[in-house]
Amino acid sequence: MSAIAPPFRRDRTVHGWIALKAVSDAGDAAWILAVAWSAVTASSPAVAGLIVTAGTIPRALTLLVGGVLADRFDARRMMVATTIARLTVLTAALAALSTVGETIPILFAVAIAFGICDALFEPSSASLTRQLVHERDFGALAGISQTASRIGAMLGAAAGGLLVAGGGLVAAALANAISYTGVLLYLLVLLRVRFPRTPAPAAPLLRSIAEGFGYLHRDRLARSLVLSLLGLNLCVSPALSIGLALLVQHLGSGPALLGALEATFGIGAMTGALIFIRVRPPRPALAGFLLLVLQGAAVASLALGHAGTAFASCAIIGITAGGASTILAGLFLREIAPDRIGRVVSIQRLGDDGLMPAATAAFGGLAALSLPAAFLAFGGVMAAYMSATALRWRHRGAPR
């Protein structure tokens, strides 16, 4: 089977899938912005916040089920079915918007339906990824995919404003439906599994879910990878979202500086990913964890409260995020058992969904008392935890 998969640099089929997935991510970002704007104009910022987050609870409830299905059934077929469901939701939304307009119940219904679709799609997508390329190309695939998704999300958010201005929520829904149609056609016509896997055995749903948690309990590296990816999101995301905005306000500046800082992070993340696609550390787990130690220190350095330092910190945070994500995502695909990867991904995403609101609220509460203390606390906790993790793996050999 390996002979039919060309080296990643010449794999036009996978390159096309990455590009199309990035376009779909752009469509999602434009759609989310359009929904938020429509909710604000139709009601209030508070209701808009509820609508944007309405999909998180059903998504969380469905994620573990999505992981079990991804491990038990053909991942590509699961993605086809979920993409059809997304198109059905968007078609129904277009019909409702055309007849009754942009109402709050419609916005809530669409947000909830998309949350459920995401929970079913993402574990299957991760499972399919490791069936497309050689094991040696997992890191390159992960790095390029994440870079393309970041670019797509940034461009999509910008395009969302233009779509809303030109055609309202209908235009955003239509654009997203077109992108999903492209995804569906690519899955049906061009994308094929190259490396088959043995599916997880059939078992009762709750037992299958419990087995996923049991696997993380037994496998130290799998557990370390999941907790490290959680730490990357929970410690860094609040600092970059709320923290940077508060820092810019403290400096007496405005949106231009905030946008420049966020762009610095984005460029750094792309740079870090591209560097570590080419540079393959002999001990990837150790290298990835050490990069996250440096990232925690960079988050803490934002406490200095100077614009120049903030730019340097954002650049370091971006480079280490892109590099660590590339290394650890490739390691994740290589090390997690093929018949458990869907459940492990669902557990990690569930941790993100469940803990992110608490982490964001905690950062905001601490920042209300002292913004430097919030940066120091979140960056320090991350650096300390990743240091301890790196110490545990410093004597491990190259494969791990």
360 and 242 Cβ atoms separated by less than 8 Å: yes
- The backbone region for 74, taken as left when phi is positive above 0, alpha when psi lies in -120 to 50, beta otherwise, is beta
CATH superfamily of 211-393: MFS general substrate transporter like domains (1.20.1250.20)
All CATH 1.20.1250.20 domain ranges in the chain, comma separated: 2-189, 211-393
CA pair distance 302, 248, nearest whole angstrom: 11
**Helix (H) / strand (E) containing 151:** helix 138-189
CATH superfamily of 2-189: MFS general substrate transporter like domains (1.20.1250.20)
Within 8 A by CB and 6+ apart from 136, the residues are none
39 and 52 Cβ atoms separated by less than 8 Å: yes
**Helix (H) / strand (E) containing 214:** helix 205-218
Question: For each of the chain's 400 residues, which pLDDT tens digit applies?
Answer: 444 778 888 888 999 999 888 888 888 888 877 777 777 676 666 666 677 677 777 888 888 999 999 888 888 999 999 999 989 988 988 888 888 877 788 888 888 888 888 888 888 988 888 888 888 888 788 878 877 887 787 777 777 777 777 777 888 888 888 989 999 999 999 888 888 888 888 888 889 999 888 988 888 878 877 877 777 777 888 888 788 888 888 888 877 788 788 888 888 888 888 888 888 888 888 888 899 999 999 999 999 988 899 999 999 998 998 888 888 888 888 888 888 888 888 888 888 777 777 888 888 889 888 999 999 999 999 999 888 888 876 655 444 4
CA pair distance 346, 77, nearest whole angstrom: 18
| DSSP string computed for 43-100 | S-HHHHHHHHTTTHHHHHHHHHHHHHHHHHS-HHHHHHHHHHHHHHHHHHHHHHHHHH
Secondary structure class of 338 (helix, strand, coil): coil
